[in-house]
Amino acid sequence: MEISEFQKLMHELYAHNDRRRGGKATMLWLVEEVGELAEAIRREEPENIEEELSDCFAWIGALANLYGVDLEKAFLKKYPGVCPTCKQKPCICTD
């Protein structure tokens, strides 16, 4: 699945709820999922990590749709095949 296909699916499934909820409340849902991901990582629960990563990705798609951001284009603009900081592939930044 391409990122654009994922974003379209999220729109078809949830856009009506996301519009009703609004950007701020949708952002809070993402933050909650990030907290759940952190907990799954802390507990070293691989199956739960997978689930929470999926949830985070879905909420990012929801926010992108609410704000009219094409995630695929935005990602390629920010990460054009090289590190956006050092401009190298692989990255040679030290953190």
Per-residue H/E/C for 64-76 = HHHCCCCHHHHHH
Element (H, E) at 84: none
**Given the structure tokens 């592939």, which residue do they identify?**
89
Q: What local confidence, expressed as pLDDT, does residue 65 receive?
A: 98
- What stretches of 22-80 show up as alpha helix (H) in DSSP? 23-42, 46-66, 71-78
pTM score above 0.75: yes
Q: Report pLDDT digits (tens) over 16-30.
A: 999 999 999 999 999
Q: Report pLDDT digits (tens) over 38-66.
A: 999 999 999 999 999 999 999 999 999 99
Band (pLDDT 50/70/90 cuts) for residue 86 is very high
CB 78 within 8 Å of CB 6: no
Rounded mean pLDDT of 67-72? 97
Q: What local confidence, expressed as pLDDT, does residue 95 receive?
A: 83
Looking at every residue in the chain, the average pLDDT score rounds to 97
Rounded to whole angstroms, the maximal C-alpha distance in the chain is: 44
Q: What local confidence, expressed as pLDDT, does residue 40 receive?
A: 98
Task: Say which CATH class 3-78 falls into.
Answer: mainly alpha
